[in-house]
Amino acid sequence: MAKILLVEDDDLVRDMLTQVLQRASHQVTCAANGEEATECLKREEPDIMVTDIIMPKKSGITLISEVKNRHPNLEIIAISGGGRLDPTGYLDLSETLGASVSFEKPIDNTALLMAIDLLLHGKKEKISH
């Protein structure tokens, strides 16, 4: 079981991912944007942060950069549908800034759960996406 901070501005996606993660016995804290995530990180120490990239108030790119400076050991999974651009560019940038893994939306739930499991056990070199 992991403590996961899920940062996603789309209510439906956030609810669906929360259910998937909770069914896998993870403890989930949700934030609707990067600002809320920053506040959560002041109160909690999650094992993994799963964050969308394109969000209002504070983007996932900004959030990843800030989190890696303040919490260098926090594992981060980036997710993106790409907005008006191809999501690959955003996801490549997120990994450059410190995300361990990235997924395009719609997310393969099995692959996400496997990535979380591997990150929890320190095996990120085995994750391919």
Residue 116: inside a domain, yes or no? yes
User: Which one is predicted more confidently, 92 or 18?
Assistant: 18
114: domain CATH number? Answer: 3.40.50.2300
Nearest C-alpha neighbor of 64 from the set 80, 51, 79: 51
Q: Could you identify the residue written with the tokens 């940062």?
A: 7
The total number of structural domains that make up the chain? 1
End-to-end CA distance of the chain: 22
Question: Treating both helix axes as pointing N-terminal to C-terminal, what angle do 60-70 and 34-43 enclose, rounded to 10 degrees?
Answer: 20
Residue 35: inside a domain, yes or no? yes
Q: Tell me the pLDDT tens digit for each residue of 42-54.
A: 999 999 999 999 9
pTM of the model: 0.92
pLDDT, position 77: 97
Residue 129: inside a domain, yes or no? no
Nearest C-alpha neighbor of 77 from the set 64, 59, 65: 64
pLDDT, position 40: 97
Residue type at 17? L
Six token digits for residue 63 = 């959030």
Q: Which domain holds residue 37?
A: 3-122
Residue 128: inside a domain, yes or no? no
Residue 13 pLDDT level (bands cut at 50, 70, 90):
very high
Q: Tell me the pLDDT tens digit for each residue of 64-116.
A: 999 999 999 999 999 998 666 566 777 888 989 999 999 999 999 999 999 99
Q: 101-104 and 27-31: which strand pairing?
A: unpaired
- The radius of gyration computed from the CA coordinates of the chain, to the nearest angstrom, equals 13
